[in-house]
Amino acid sequence: MDIGGRSLYLECHGEGTPTVILEAGLTGDHRTWERVVPALSEDTRVCSYDRANIRPSDPAPKPRTTLDMVEDLDALLAAASVEPPYVLVGFSFGGLVTQQYAATNPDDVAGIVLVESNHPEEAQQFEEHLTPEQISLDREEVQSNPEGVDVFASLEQVQAAGPMPEVPLVVVTAGRSEGWPPGWDPQIFDALRAEQQEELAGLVPGGRQVIAEESGHHVPAEQPAVIIEAVRSVIMAGG
């Protein structure tokens, strides 16, 4: 789909409103959601896409940030005549894109589901417990992603984005930790991660958290039924 000199890959299934917009994690693509789309598309229209620099979408100048991604998504939805209201579903880094989009376009959003989402303040909170060497290694690894995303600038942008719209919100959190880099104290970082997930549920009055008890980080692949139920509950609550 052409968005003005570049093309982004988009696929939509089903009919109805609100439209569910699925946002993959860092370097992920629309196939992230292949175990989620069939069930949800029985209920309403569901759209997934590939961001710039994720094939088959076209490349775009690097580095990229969440603000760039929101601008692209706005253009993509307009080009495809996918009208609001939207229920936004973001996995991992895609949760940051979802938060940025919701804060930027509050009137277009009918509900939000954050699946194992990054927390906007996680870098500061994590780095309080790391050595300078660990911080340097972590930042180098995170910033070298092939999607060309400046993750730390994106975290700052989401922090500055303003409040979420007061719409139904469900935070889906993995029940199983998949560990941390060498030298990171699992007890400290598991506790921090748990607190951050609870805080995400508090972004909106009435937001709630659901634990995917049998899943690690990759909930869309490991326990898709939890996401499907979360999205359906958000649609029902917003109806």
pTM of the model: 0.95
Query: What is the rounded distance in angstroms from the CA atom of residue 142 to the CA atom of residue 29?
Result: 18
Supply the pLDDT for residue 124: 86
Overall domain count for the chain: 1
Supply the pLDDT for residue 129: 86
Give residue 104's domain range. Answer: 9-238
- Pair 16, 85: CB distance under 8 Å: no
- 3-state class (DSSP) for residue 218: coil
In 3D, which of 86, 95, 100 has the Cα closest to residue 45?
86
Domain assignment of residue 2, yes or no: no
CATH of the domain at 62: 3.40.50.1820
Task: DSSP for 62-109, please give it.
Answer: SSB-HHHHHHHHHHHHHHTT-PSPEEEEEETHHHHHHHHHHHHSGGGE
Domain assignment of residue 169, yes or no: yes
Domain assignment of residue 4, yes or no: no
Domain assignment of residue 112, yes or no: yes
Q: What is the pLDDT of residues 153-199, one digit of tens each?
A: 999 999 999 899 999 999 999 998 877 778 888 888 888 899 999 99
pLDDT confidence tier of residue 239, bands split at 50, 70 and 90: low
Domain assignment of residue 58, yes or no: yes
pLDDT confidence tier of residue 126, bands split at 50, 70 and 90: confident
Domain assignment of residue 76, yes or no: yes
CB-count exposure of residue 181 (10 Å: 0-12, 13-18, 19+): exposed
- 3-state class (DSSP) for residue 31: helix
Structure tokens at 142: 């995170």
137 pLDDT higher than 90: no
Residue 149: CA atoms inside 13 Å, Cβ hemisphere, count? 26
Domain assignment of residue 132, yes or no: yes
Mean pLDDT of the chain: 94
Q: What is the pLDDT of residues 71-120, one digit of tens each?
A: 999 999 999 999 999 999 999 999 999 999 999 999 999 999 999 999 99
CB-count exposure of residue 81 (10 Å: 0-12, 13-18, 19+): exposed
Q: What is the pLDDT of residues 18-57, one digit of tens each?
A: 999 999 999 999 999 999 999 999 999 999 999 999 999 9
pLDDT above 70 as % of the chain? 100
